[in-house]
Chain A
Amino acid sequence: MNYCNLITIFAFINLLVSIPHGYSNYVETKAGQFFSSGHTNNWAVLVCTSRFWFNYRHVANTLSVYRSVKRLGIPDSHIVLMLADDMACNYRNPKPATVFSHKNMELNVYGDDVEVDYRGYEVTVENFLRVLTGRLPPSTPRSKRLLSDDRSNILIYLTGHGGNGFLKFQDSEEISNMELADAFEQMWQKRRYNELLFIIDTCQGASMYERFYSPNLMALASSQVGEDSLSHQPDLGIGVHLMDKYTFYLLEFLEEVHPASQANMNDLFKVCPQSQCVSTPGHRTDLFQRDPGSVLITDFFGSVRKVEITKDTINLTSPVEPPIKRSGSSDIQIESLTYVDQLPVAEIIHQKPKQKDWHPPDGFILGLWTLILLVFFQTYGIKHLKHIF
């Protein structure tokens, strides 16, 4: 009996000691997970490179990724959306201001709250590379810039028509896989990303990530070299194919993901196997440092904010003095202000011509005068001039 008691007491004491130890272990693993990914903000660059109505599906592809990314928390200010043509308000669209991804018009991926940063003719290879590397002219507004830093995780999604080693932009120019790899290297050297996920949905998409050589890159493509990516289903009411197979199943997968979900990259690699997609999706993880199984989907598609709590106090400076209203000077002036005459006919008729600034003669006139002078001096010669003057 005494022995039994002793054993139970010992077990109890053991339990008492191990519980806080277990709890601190739990806290440590949680803290480890909290700081494991190393990024503090998320960006997304979503590009559709095709023009014309029959490429409706590429715009729908890009908009469905935009929709998922926005739903999982990345705000518009951190998304650079480039659409090479307007499908929603196209005159051929039987339902304006909508872009559907499922037939029978089930899901409108265009939504009511979309902000497109580069549209129409602005989607060019040059602008895309400038956005990635950050070399934009100084007057570019903030919404058109990729303002990422070395703690940003960036998602880059490209779709359109492509081939072995290139992607076609708007049927008039192309970007090659070497240019893309070099752009990513520039981004790495300027520390413009922490980790980058590259997804491409074009024919022979795997050729685009073959040449990458910068660290921390993970890439997914919808088809291997020599294979075509196929489109999913047409809608007879709209008359075009609505989505590509790979992005359709990617959208279905992402609809299941919510900001707190623990789905990881291995699940993403399994999206759209050959039985569904007809082409074989590929992926590349050798440049990525973490194990893909430990990378959450929301690390790239969502914007899960990490908060660090600090116990230091910060002293705020006193507020700015509000400007003093215009004092009595306006009361002093009695003259009333007037509106301008919209069509002052008499004034217009008698308008003096504007004084144009004088410019020295240029180009043709200068050449003509030089010729005349040359001929003159040749005919008469300098020494004869004293007879004339």
Chain B
Amino acid sequence: MLILSSLLLFILTTHSEALTPAAARDEFQEELVIRPLHSGDIYASFQFRTLWDTDFLQEGQKVSHYRLFPKSLGQVLSKFSVRELHISFTQGFWRTMQWGQPFIPSPPGAELWVWFHDTVSDVDGNWKELTNVLSGIFCASLNFIDLTNTVQPSASFKPLGLGNATDHRFLRYATLPREIVCTENLTPWKKLLPCGSKAGLAVLMKSEKLFHSSFHSQAVHIRPICQDEQCSSKAWELRQTLNVVFDLHTSGQGKKEWSLFKMFSRTLTEACPLASSSKVYVDITDNPELFELSPATPLLGQAVVLGDRRTYSVYDLSRAETFGQLRSFNLLLRDMLRPLLHAERYVAGFGLQTGEIHTVIYNNHPYRAFPVLLMDSVPWYLQLYIHTLTVTSKSRDNKPSYIHYQPAKDRHRPHLLEMLIQLPPHSMTEVTVQFERALLKWTEYTPDPNHGFYVGSSVVSALVPSMVAMRTNFTQDQPLFSSFVPVKEESSYFVRVYTEPLLVNLPTPDFSMPYNVICLTCTVVAVGYGSFYNLLTRTFQVDEPSPPLSKRLANLIRRMRGVPLLT
């Protein structure tokens, strides 16, 4: 009897274990890549990746147990049926010619692009609510994103994650070039990490050093990726990246000796306990013998990134022996590989009525030509004249093989211009278009209109031919910085280059004018009309002055006596 009951109990417990499902697996990896740049500056790129094997978009099942993945973002994904989300906040402009290509490019200001799931019926409504929710999460004014600065690109910004259908009706792209990035954006970004800013690589992120730099960019990228090499199921990937370039003179005091303490005013003490891998990579490709890294590490890794094979010294923070004294790097540099694709943009013209936007794209490859997709989103108050659009390469006309233009609607929609241009080898291509500045209504001016109005960066997307063969399949042990963009063929890599944003002055009225006019007019009316009125209607009456007190008293006594009164 006892044996039977214990057997029953045993069977029940094992059976219940089989019934309770295993929680979806999630893992967290963090890495820091340090790359010295040609100009003496140093480029540090943090990447934090949380991989979670769950399905947010499944009907009827709400995900309620969050471990490493932040709950605020998970709820956003399931509520708005988001397939992919990319948001970045950047301070400064990435100088491609001096610094090379970044691992993850971003334009100045804030940029947000989202692919929605094809089950969504009202994409614009979801987009509006999503921007408001994100503005609360990241303490940024993303609620200024509305239909006047949102575009729907037709060929750019294909999804970076898994997927078959790419109907561009479910894509929305917006950029706020004026958005300021400061500690109040970094604080909630750090709170999304599993270890926060208390352990692991995030300990290095102190705002006083990070914002005293030439370039600072923090981003969040969420997309579905392959769970394993066979790619039979999806997993959600959340990547938080922070790219910062420290200037040689402001942070480095003019010496090319860098250390973690000099860059971040902190040192690493331990890896994040929740991380499955925590590594620091230092790029030593340029001068392996002349480099002095202290403490030295025997681990060397090689990775093909951005069309170039580079060698890295790897420090594995999960091993206890990597910690110890200050880590310092003494660096000397050679010439770097010239970037193959580079773009610039500026406004030409004079006066406050018309102007011209020039976008210049350089192809520095000696013998290969390749196509680029240029996407321009111009606000409605710069009225473009598309009949003046010219594309010239090597002073000859270069006709784009694909043009998509959506004209602006005043106060409703911005201009969208997408062109697929074939760049001849070793050439400069110039795209020019003339515009006229619109007069805004007086309530539409910002409180500081003399600063100017910003126009967002152009995006140049290209498949650049690569000198080195790229790997086409992802493995788990690949470093994070080389596995962001999916690679389809070995001979080229995908790159996105952002141009400068433009600052344009619109004709600004004199805002003190109404007040001055009212004062002047009222004064003239009061003085002129008032005197005229007085002249016409004023009559004079003789008025007896009242007699002084003594006379009044005397009159009183005389009245009593019955004697005639004094006058």
Contact = CB atoms under 8 A, between A and B. Distances in A.
B515 to A, nearest CB: 13
B208 A89 contact: no
A116 B132 CA distance: 15
B488 A339 contact: yes
A349 B166 CA distance: 16
B373 interface: yes
A89 B91 contact: yes
A343 B494 contact: yes
A171 interface: yes
Given A343-B371, A343-B462, A345-B420, A334 B183 contact: no
Interface string A119-143: 1111000000000000001011111
A21 to B, nearest CB: 52
A192 interface: no
A71 interface: no
Contact of A114 (B64, B161, B187): B187
B65 A348 contact: no
A330 B232 contact: yes
B162 interface: yes
B381 to A, nearest CB: 16
Contacts of A98: 208
B137 A342 contact: no
A334 B22 CA distance: 23
Contacts, number: 166
Interface stretch (A174-182, A203-211, A273-281, A317-325): A317-325
Contacts of B488: 339, 341-342
B20 to A, nearest CB: 7
A170 interface: yes
B139 A115 contact: yes
Contact of A89 (B129, B168, B182, B447): B182
A353 to B, nearest CB: 8
- Prevailing SS type, chain B contact patch: loop
Contacts of B63: 323
**Which of B20, B91, B135, B168 gathers most chain A CB within 10 Å?**
B135
Interface string A160-179: 00000000001110000000
Given A97-B208, A330-B233, A348 B21 contact: no
Nearest to A81: B184
Contact of A320 (B64, B207, B446): B64
Given A342-B485, A348-B373, A51 B91 contact: no
A336 B65 contact: no
A149 interface: no
Interface in A43-93: 51-52, 86, 88-89
B486 interface: yes
Contacts of B166: 340
**Which of A120, A121, A330, A342 gathers most chain B CB within 10 Å?**
A342
Contact of B187 (A95, A113, A343): A113
Contacts of B402: 348-349, 351
B139 A120 contact: no
A339 B486 contact: yes
Interface stretch (B152-160, B350-358, B386-394): B152-160
Contacts of A115: 139, 184, 187-188
A122 B182 CA distance: 16
B212 interface: yes
A221 to B, nearest CB: 25
Contact of A120 (B180, B207, B494): B180
A26 B305 CA distance: 74
**Which of B159, B162, B169, B180 gathers most chain A CB within 10 Å?**
B180
A340 B446 CA distance: 41
B316 interface: no
Contacts of B135: 141, 144
Contacts of B212: 95-97
Interface of B: 20-24, 55, 58, 61-65, 91, 128-129, 132-133, 135-137, 139-141, 143-144, 154-155, 158-164, 166, 168-169, 180-184, 187-188, 206-208, 210-212, 226, 230-234, 371, 373, 401-402, 420, 446-448, 461-463, 485-486, 488, 494, 511
17 contacts: A88-B211, A89-B211, A97-B183, A97-B212, A114-B184, A119-B141, A121-B144, A139-B129, A143-B136, A337-B164, A337-B232, A338-B231, A339-B162, A342-B485, A342-B488, A348-B373, A349-B420
The 3 closest A-B pairs by CB, nearest first: A141-B136, A339-B486, A89-B182
Given A95-B208, A334-B232, A349-B401, 16 more contacts: A89-B182, A89-B183, A96-B211, A112-B187, A116-B139, A119-B140, A122-B141, A141-B135, A326-B55, A330-B233, A340-B159, A342-B461, A343-B371, A345-B463, A348-B373, A351-B402
